Amino acid sequence: MNKINTFLRADWSDIQRMGDIRVINAVDKHWAVITLANLTEYDKGFLEVQTSSCHDVFGELSMIGFSVNWYTMPRGLLRKCNNVFNIDTIARGGFNDLHNCVKLIESDKFRLENVDTDRGSVLYRGSHDMGVIIGDVISYQSMAMAVLNVMDMYHKRLAVHRTMWYKWLKDAEYVEHKTGNLFKFPNGLSVKMDDSDEVLSEDGYRIFCETFDSTDDITRHETEADFLVWLTKYF
């Protein structure tokens, strides 16, 4: 696959006209790689005369680098984004999206040079994660206050779900096991704590727990917060 490092300037209306937007992945403050399907014949021809470093093709999907203005992105496209979060609405949405937003915020320091007031984004680039925070008004001062409010709402929701988990524990059967003690629930869910001498993960690092249910799917949760967010499927 080509490495996309050239980005075409385009309005969101032009990008939507090119084809069906499947995924939006931010790669810098105002750069994004957008995956489209069903590209028009005109735009297929347009891409053929562009440098290969601005696009790539994988089967029926075309991945194209664009320079975008996040202020003007239609709100409906937010659900297509992998690593873009709206600071004004994230606390009112799903807990998993809020959790991923907070993990991104905590992955990096809030730096003035990462604030793009002209195109409406703040870049966060941690050791493992990167993404952008967008909003109706982007400035250093407004973002600082908005992040504090989002973090407060996040920890409040975590506390609520922690209480629900503690209450739910009364229905579980506790089983001591040499590889990690278990909580077995009537609905088929089992939660194994990483509390034995031998750690659960192959890399040797402690996790919080692993879960498996009636489908026999095993999920490992690195932190208590990861587990509590995952557990919302049962609440």
What is the structure's pLDDT at 182? 95
Position 2 pLDDT exceeds 70: no
Query: Residues 28-60: pLDDT tens digits?
Result: 999 999 999 999 999 999 998 998 899 998 889
**144 domain residue, yes or no:** yes
Identify the weakest region by mean pLDDT among 130-139, 180-189, 204-213, 214-223: 214-223
CA distance 181 to 171: 16
What is the structure's pLDDT at 3? 85
In this structure, the answer to whether residues 55 and 100 fall within a common structural domain is: no
Position 198 pLDDT exceeds 80: yes
**3 domain residue, yes or no:** no
What is the structure's pLDDT at 220? 94
Q: Which of 162, 182, 204 is the last residue of a domain?
A: 162
SS3 assignment for 112-180? HHHEECCCCEEEEECCCCEEEEECCCCCHHHHHHHHHHHHHHHHHHHHHHHHHHHHHHHHCEEECCCCC
Query: Residues 132-188: pLDDT tens digits?
Result: 999 999 998 999 999 999 999 999 999 999 999 999 999 999 999 998 999 999 999
What is the structure's pLDDT at 84? 98
Q: How many domains does the chain have?
A: 3
**207 domain residue, yes or no:** yes
Domain range enclosing 157:
84-162
Query: Residues 10-26: pLDDT tens digits?
Result: 999 999 999 999 999 99
**69 domain residue, yes or no:** yes
In this structure, the answer to whether residues 54 and 39 fall within a common structural domain is: yes
Rg of the Cα atoms in the chain: 22
Tokens encoding 151: 């973090």
Q: Which of 77, 97, 123 is the last residue of a domain?
A: 77
**167 domain residue, yes or no:** no
**1 domain residue, yes or no:** no
Which band of pLDDT confidence, cut at 50, 70 and 90, is reported for residue 203? confident
DSSP state of 150: H
Which band of pLDDT confidence, cut at 50, 70 and 90, is reported for residue 129? confident
Position 1 pLDDT exceeds 70: no
Tokens encoding 226: 């990861």
What is the structure's pLDDT at 166? 96
Average pLDDT across the chain, whole number: 94
